[in-house]
Structure 1
Amino acid sequence: MSDSPAPLATGPLGMRLLAFERLPEDSRFTEAPVGYVLVALWHAGLLLLVHVRHRDCWELPGGSIDPVGVPPACGGETPRRAAVRELREESGQLVAPDDLRFAGFARTALPDRRVLRGAVYAAETAAPTAFAPTEEITGIHWWNLEDPMPHGQLQTVDAYLAALARV
């Protein structure tokens, strides 16, 4: 019997959302430092999801923060800059750093029990840009939070986070 609280959400690939922390964006953590970013991008009430080829899963655009020159004062990437870069790389969508609204930190556990923390951002776009598939991302989909996905699985942890971060 475990005395740890039930996860807020679980995903089809074994990910668990342990907590969503509405703390200041510049918060620092010793346990599970911020290592990834996610972006909930909205257009006309629809959420942008990307289809990740090797997981066959629809997810929020996002990924790792570039650690080059850690800490950011030494040339490393801030979570906000990583969010802009990952959104562009994974979906072709362009958003200025100042147009992102910081929503909070997701604390997640992977199937191997490793705990990670990610910075979650939200933004609205009036003019989505065209998408070209990449080696990593096969497609994008503007989702209404209800209809089934065209193929593949939905990362339900990301859908839960997007609802929390909605602009």
Structure 2
Amino acid sequence: MELDGEPGEDVGGRRPLATGPRQMALLDFDRHSAEDARRSGYVLVTLWHGELLLLVRVRGRDCWELPGGRLEPGETARQAAARELREETGEFVPEEKLRFLGYATTSLGPERRVLVGAVFGAEVAGAPGRFTANDEISEVRWWDGVEALPRLQTVDTHLAALTRENRPR
């Protein structure tokens, strides 16, 4: 998979690792911290099927990105990752099978709000699950890293490439 989203202009004094649609920027990826549920404002999941990465097309943003989202009250980041993956894609990966990969620091939109999110990864060996379109996600795709997709969130694909060497096998 190619690394998309070349570093862009400074954001809050930091040079982003990648930039993408909707003025999003990946400011940092910390793969050395221990998992800490209190540190996460959101979660992302890199789910692999062989060499293919699972992406979702979010209706409200009309953008291809990694499955994930916000934590619900009382939920750990790991629980949120498993739930968001199931809700958004139909893929079921037990919490204990999700591997914590690190924390992504992102800047969102023109207001430059900065959030820290936990990134988890897993590998599915069997046939991918069934997806049913819903109010949030219009479609899913197992992406080969080469196919051109309209409005690809290059921040997410860059993050997936950074975590690839640590992905579960």
Structure 1 gap ranges (5+): 68-75
Distance 2:46 2:130 in 1: 18
Distance 1:14 1:43 in 2: 29
- In our comparison, the structure showing a higher alpha carbon Rg is 1
Structure 1 residue 45 displacement after superposition: 0.9
Check if 1:25 corresponds to 2:35. yes
Contact 1:121 1:165 in 2 (8 A): no
Of 33, 58, 76, the match for 1:52: 58
Corresponding residue for residue 135 of structure 1: 135
Structure 1 residue 26 displacement after superposition: 2.3
Contact 1:20 1:104 in 2 (8 A): yes
Q: What do you get for the CA RMSD once the two structures are aligned?
A: 1.6
Distance 2:138 2:71 in 1: 22
Corresponding residue for residue 146 of structure 2: 146
Q: Normalising by structure 2, report the TM-score.
A: 0.86
Aligned length: 153
Structure 2 gap ranges (5+): 1-8
Structure 1 residue 27 displacement after superposition: 7.3
Distance 2:25 2:132 in 1: 30
Q: Which amino acid aligns with 2:119?
A: V
Q: Which amino acid aligns with 2:57?
A: H
Q: Normalising by structure 1, report the TM-score.
A: 0.87
Aligned residue for 1:81, secondary structure, equals helix
Contact 2:37 2:77 in 1 (8 A): no
